[in-house]
């Protein structure tokens, strides 16, 4: 089984593309626990909330991995939670960097329009750019392999599909 984590700033198409690949290619994905958490509890987050979100995501990921599909897409993982911690609180607890890592990360660039959905924080250009930079910084800090995904929606889909297919083919 190969795991591919969709990573990057808010409103860059990660969740939409996960759903699309499930329908179009049958690639299962693990949804973002943080979205459910904030929809239920609100967006006034503390560091303790981020740690709960990380643990909840880990549970969802482990459960999905039990089915052992050839590829499992992760809408997010704890490295993205680490970016949130850095952005919101200025530091990253070691716990967030200690979780298992995906085989490949797809880093979605913040080069598409931002859309408010009630759980998003960083829609202004400067904040969005800073958050996108922190997302990349966490991948570099963790030393994980990643590929940038950018451009219009159809280009993102094609780039992501090609990266996943290459991973599955062992390239």
Q: Give the C-alpha distances (Å, rounded to integers) separating 16 from 21, 92, 142, 155.
A: 9, 28, 26, 14
Helix axes 47-65, 33-41, angle to 10 degrees: 140
Q: Rounded distance, CA 158 to CA 44, Å?
A: 36
Question: What confidence tier does 4 reach under pLDDT thresholds 50, 70, 90?
Answer: very high
The mean per-residue pLDDT over the stretch 104-133 comes to 75
The mean per-residue pLDDT over the stretch 61-81 comes to 96
Residue 110 is predicted with a pLDDT of 84
Contact 79/139 with Cβ under 8 angstroms?
Answer: yes
CATH label, 2-169, candidates 3.30.300.30, 3.40.50.300, 3.40.50.2300, 3.40.50.261: 3.40.50.300
Residue 146 is predicted with a pLDDT of 98
Residue 129 is predicted with a pLDDT of 86
- In 9-47, at which residue ranges do the beta strands (DSSP E only) sit? 29-30
Write down the pTM of the prediction.
Answer: 0.91
Q: Rounded distance, CA 80 to CA 121, Å?
A: 14
The mean per-residue pLDDT over the stretch 130-150 comes to 95
pLDDT exceeds 70 at position 121 = no
Question: What confidence tier does 113 reach under pLDDT thresholds 50, 70, 90?
Answer: low
C-alpha angle with apex 8: 6 to 13, nearest 5 degrees? 65
């Amino acid at each position: 089984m190969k795991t591919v984590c969709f990573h990057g700033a808010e409103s860059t198409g990660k969740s939409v593309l996960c759903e699309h690949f499930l329908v179009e290619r049958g690639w299962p994905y693990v949804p973002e626990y943080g979205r459910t958490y904030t929809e239920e509890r609100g967006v006034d987050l503390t560091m303790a909330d981020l740690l709960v979100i990380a643990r909840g995501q880990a549970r969802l990921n482990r459960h999905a991995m039990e089915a052992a599909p050839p590829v499992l897409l992760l809408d997010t993982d704890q490295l993205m939670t680490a970016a949130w911690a850095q952005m919101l609180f200025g530091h990253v607890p070691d716990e967030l960097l200690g979780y298992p890592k995906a085989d490949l990360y797809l880093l979605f660039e913040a080069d598409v329009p931002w859309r408010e959905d009630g759980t998003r924080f960083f829609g202004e250009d400067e904040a969005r750019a800073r958050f996108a930079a922190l997302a990349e910084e966490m991948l570099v800090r963790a030393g994980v392999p990643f590929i940038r995904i950018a451009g219009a929606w159809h280009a993102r889909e094609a780039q992501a599909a090609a990266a996943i297919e290459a991973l599955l083919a062992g390239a």
